[in-house]
Amino acid sequence: MMKYIIELILSIGKVDRRWIFLVIGLAVLLPLFFPLGLPIRATTATQRVYDAVEELEPNSKVLVSFEYGPSTKPEIHPMAIAILRHLFTNSQKVYVTCLWPDGQFMAEDALTEIAEEEYGLTYGEDYVLLGFRPGNEAVVKGLVSNIRKLYTTDARGTLVDQIPMMANVNKVKDFDFIFSASAGYPGTIEWVQYAADPTGVPMSTGTTSIQVNDVMPYVQSGQVKGILAGMPGAAEYEALIGSPGIGTSGMDAQSIAHLVIVLFIVFGNITYFIETRRAKKY
Amino acid sequence: MVIGAWISVFLTLAILSYLYKDNPFYKVAEHVFVGISTGYWTSMFFWTQIQPNLFGRLWPATEYDASSLWYKFYNLFGVFSSVFPEGGIAKGHDMHLIYLVPFALGIMMLLSVSSKLSWMARWGIAYTVGMAAGLRAYGFLNSNVLGQIKGSAFQIFNSDLPYFALVGESITNNFVILIGTITGLMYFYFSREHTGNFGRLTKVGIYFLMISFGASFGFAVMGRISLLIGRFVDLMHYSSSAYNNATLWILLIMVLLLGYSAFMDKGRPVESPVNDRTD
């Protein structure tokens, strides 16, 4: 019996990797068709982002930066949507910049859905899309010294001086809070290094999962107030604001897929150890 | 809208088809992606920075004077009216001729395509590298060195903290951070051989590093699964009748064509870039 099990495990270890792709695909797809409704509980890092936003007075000036594109949309877009929802519910003024060119697309998408359609807010009075400027960290540095040098017009071509909510907003220090929705460079780290740390303006972030380990030291040291870590972070934030969205709907698939991957890793290791033992034996 | 959905579905399935093997669908999607990305980035850079912030400062509408030599030169480019509109560029700038310097440096960088003039590109690159180095030195020193040292200098036996907590601050976790930081730094000290007690401590440092790499790997997997979920959600959305069942049709056609291709290639020696097992 034991021999049969060992042979079975070894045969699984030799399976064509395309079967593994198929199993992972099914593990992701099936929970999307048949949701399990697994519970979502906010981590401390997510709770800190929520608390930081909650602490803001109404009509605070919040700078939200979109640093992601279609390739990372499933991870970052849900959290950008959730953050905008939270900010608009609390009557904050939102100023949107983009360090990535495709971030402007994402920002337009999110603002149309949330600010225009859901909340019916007025462009230029409640929110403004300043748009993309190339230059990476030089843009952040420029925003810290003088916004108007970089942005004479917004993304729609309106002169910044003609936008009501831009009155008395000249540099990063004029904002009460920064939120960076970031998928890499330039992104969260550049905002910490060139804006939040030098000016003392509090900031939070939402990043792709792969970036979490790089950003976590800034969260631990208090330089960043919490972090939304990938799709789970978005789902947790959606749970906190009581508005389930795309992040929440993907979490069942995320959990099942992880379970399957862990099983594959366990099988892979067992196969490796059996093969090593056999090789030593003979 | 429907055409966009069909294109989106085709490109998604074409990229995913690489998991089976390299094939023409994947090649098409790959080339389209690279081409469109380059075109989009170039156009965004031009219309958000070069046209408004560079040309807009060299030929601003506020100082337009058709009789001046500078604006006569500008009017020569009037044929490209979307870039150089009549009456100067109205983007809220005053004239700053100092911007001729970055303009010249930019043109010099483009000269790298010419073998005779490529040396001129070095000036532009030197300026960019110098500026970036200066900017980064300040940022790293302030946030990564000073900020992180300040963040890791905490009171270990803080009476306000619990002795143990799985998540959040606690005296035990303070010790873990202290030991992890010191042993991790010791591992990167190469002026002494990693043997004896010192070697044992550096080994602890390796374990901390391994745990960190493991967490990074876990996060990487989580990120990739999230992206797959995103694509599947879109594919499911586009499989509805509102989009003429785009996903189902394109999937069927792709499977049939790839299946036919595999059938025709049967017996021929094929190198599979996906399955590179040698046993």
Going B101 to B107 to B112 to B115, the CA torsion angle's sign is negative
Give the closest-approach CA distance of A107 to chain B in angstroms.
15
Across the range B168-177, mean pLDDT stands at 87
Note whether residue B60 is domain-resident.
no
Q: Compare all CA atoms of chain A with the CA of B173 and give the residue at the minimum distance.
A: A220
pLDDT tens-digit readout, B39-91: 988 998 899 889 988 999 999 999 999 899 999 999 999 889 999 999 999 88
pLDDT at residue B1, rounded to an integer: 78
Cβ–Cβ gap B219/A209 under 8 Å: yes
Chosen from A26, A129, A210, A249 to mutate, greatest number of chain B CBs within 10 A: A210
Domain boundaries, position A68:
44-243
Of A134, A189, A210, which is closest to B48 when you measure between CB atoms? A134
Q: Would you state the structure tokens that stand for residue A149, as one six-digit string?
A: 């040098």
Q: Would you state the structure tokens that stand for residue B120, as one six-digit string?
A: 């001129």
pLDDT at residue B279, rounded to an integer: 42
Q: Which helix (H) or strand (E) holds A95?
A: strand A93-98
Note whether residue A194 is domain-resident.
yes
Note whether residue B171 is domain-resident.
yes
Note whether residue A7 is domain-resident.
no
Question: What is the crossing angle of helices A251-281 and B196-238, to 10°?
Answer: 130
Give the closest-approach CA distance of B44 to chain A in angstroms.
6
pTM recorded for the entire structure: 0.85
Split at pLDDT 50, 70, 90, the class of B167 is confident
Cβ–Cβ gap A152/B274 under 8 Å: no
Note whether residue B195 is domain-resident.
yes
Pairwise pLDDT comparison (A249 vs B235), residue with the higher score: B235
How far is residue A253's CA from residue B232's CA, in Å, rounded to a whole number? 10
Per-block mean pLDDT, blocks of 10 residues, chain A (282 long): 82 84 93 88 93 96 95 93 96 95 93 95 96 89 92 90 94 96 94 94 96 92 94 94 88 92 89 86 70
Count of CA atoms in the C-beta half-sphere (13 A) of A108:
12
**Residues on chain A touching B56 (C-beta within 8 angstroms):** 152
Mean pLDDT of chain B: 90
Beta bridge pairs of residue A203: A178
Domain boundaries, position B188:
154-215
Give the closest-approach CA distance of A133 to chain B in angstroms.
6
When divided into structural domains, chain A yields a total of 1
Note whether residue A259 is domain-resident.
no
Cβ–Cβ gap B236/A232 under 8 Å: no
How far is residue A87's CA from residue A127's CA, in Å, rounded to a whole number? 10
CB atoms within 10 A of CB B240: 13
- Interface pTM, i.e. ipTM: 0.88
Cβ–Cβ gap A231/B41 under 8 Å: no
| Domain of residue A159, CATH code | 3.40.50.10160
Note whether residue B117 is domain-resident.
no
Does the pLDDT value for residue B277 go beyond 80? no
Note whether residue B110 is domain-resident.
no
Give, in order, the Cα–Cα distances in Å from B158 to each of A193, A219, A249, B171: 29, 20, 41, 7
pLDDT at residue B278, rounded to an integer: 44
Note whether residue A126 is domain-resident.
yes
Note whether residue A122 is domain-resident.
yes
Of B48, B91, B167, which is closest to A131 when you measure between CB atoms? B48
Q: Whose CA is closest to A37, among A265, A201, A235?
A: A235
pLDDT tens-digit readout, B178-193: 999 999 999 999 999 9
Note whether residue A185 is domain-resident.
yes
Give, in order, the Cα–Cα distances in Å from A83 to each of A54, A235, A276: 11, 12, 51
Is B217 touching A (CB cutoff 8 A)? Answer: no
Give the closest-approach CA distance of B167 to chain A in angstroms.
8
Pairwise pLDDT comparison (A226 vs B169), residue with the higher score: A226
Give, in order, the Cα–Cα distances in Å from B175 to each of A195, B157, B183, B212: 32, 9, 12, 17
Is B231 touching A (CB cutoff 8 A)? Answer: yes
Contacts of B76 (CB under 8 A, 6+ apart): none
**Residues on chain A touching B58 (C-beta within 8 angstroms):** none
Using a 10 angstrom Cβ sphere, with 0-12 exposed, 13-18 middle and 19 or more buried, the burial of residue A267 is middle
Does the pLDDT value for residue B163 go beyond 70? yes
pLDDT at residue B41, rounded to an integer: 87
Chosen from A191, A231, A272 to mutate, greatest number of chain B CBs within 10 A: A231
Give the closest-approach CA distance of B143 to chain A in angstroms.
5
Q: Whose CA is closest to A64, among A47, A72, A76?
A: A76
How far is residue B11's CA from residue A70's CA, in Å, rounded to a whole number? 13
Cβ–Cβ gap A261/B93 under 8 Å: no
CB atoms within 10 A of CB A187: 28
Contact B246, B6 (CB under 8 A): yes
How far is residue A65's CA from residue A205's CA, in Å, rounded to a whole number? 9
Is B53 touching A (CB cutoff 8 A)? Answer: yes
When divided into structural domains, chain B yields a total of 1
